[in-house]
Structures are given as structure tokens and as C-alpha cells.
């Protein structure tokens, strides 16, 4: 059993909803798909890691720092993993080979393992 007052309220709600439409059709802007021909987002991480790997490789070779040679190998692996297929492969391979040679040369000159700084405390 529905009372008359509830049906009247329902009809008033319907009339009020249709008469007070706050939408403005002249302000509607349709969404457009992004243009995929222009690369908006360029990830600089592979380039930074490539430069960092070169710097660490040179420090490992010139200063005979083993940790620097290992850091160079890590940076070149990260750079290789994050590059796109359109990037220059020669530069990435040369950076990787330079870091591998830094590790090999640092262990050929001094075959002792790397001891962490806190090993002397124990």
C-alpha cells in the first residue's frame, strides 16, 4: 500500500531533476587519442646508467678499485636491460665490454677478494 504523499514526492523529484539540469553542452570536450608517432615520455635511466658505467669502469681501470669495476658492471647491465631496440647497440656493447674488462683487469692486478669495511671490526 503506497500513500499518495510518497507518489507526489516522487513526481516532484522527477520534475525537479529534469528542470534543473546543470550540465552545459557547450563546455563538453571530447577526448582524443594520444598521437603515438611522437614519443612524449623518454626514459633517461639507460643513458644515465651508461654514463655512470663508463665513469665507474675508468675508475676501476685507472685506480684499481674493485668495487668501482663491479659497480660499472652493474650499471651497464641495468643500462642494457632498460634500453629500447631503437637505441645504438654499439655504445651499449662497448660500455658492457669496458666494464667486464675493468673487473677482469682489477682481479688480474690484485687477485685478493674484496673485504667489506666492517670485516676488520669482527
* 63-89 confidence digits (pLDDT tens): 999 999 999 999 999 999 988 877 778
Q: What is the pLDDT of residue 38?
A: 62
* 104 vs 7, residue with greater confidence: 104
- Of 47, 55, 60, 50, the C-alpha closest to 101 is 60
- Structure confidence by residue, pLDDT tens digits, 14-26: 555 555 667 888 8
Dist. CA 80–CA 53, nearest whole Å? 11
Tell me how far apart the 2 most distant CA atoms of the chain are, in Å: 99
Share above pLDDT 90 across residues of the chain, in percent, rounded to a whole number: 42
Band the pLDDT of 31: cuts 50, 70, 90: confident
Dist. CA 97–CA 105, nearest whole Å? 12
Amino acid at each position: 500500500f503506497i500513500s499518495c504523499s510518497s507518489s507526489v514526492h516522487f513526481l516532484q523529484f522527477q520534475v525537479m531533476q529534469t528542470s534543473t539540469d546543470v550540465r552545459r553542452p557547450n563546455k563538453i570536450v571530447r577526448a582524443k587519442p594520444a598521437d603515438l608517432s611522437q614519443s612524449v615520455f623518454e626514459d633517461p635511466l639507460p643513458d644515465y646508467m651508461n654514463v655512470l658505467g663508463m665513469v665507474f669502469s675508468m675508475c676501476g681501470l685507472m685506480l684499481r678499485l674493485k668495487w668501482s669495476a663491479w659497480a660499472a658492471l652493474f650499471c651497464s647491465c641495468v643500462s642494457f636491460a632498460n634500453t629500447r631496440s631503437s637505441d645504438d647497440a654499439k655504445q651499449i656493447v662497448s660500455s658492457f665490454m669496458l666494464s667486464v674488462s675493468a673487473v677482469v683487469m682489477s682481479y688480474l692486478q690484485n687477485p685478493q677478494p674484496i673485504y667489506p669495511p666492517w670485516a676488520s671490526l669482527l
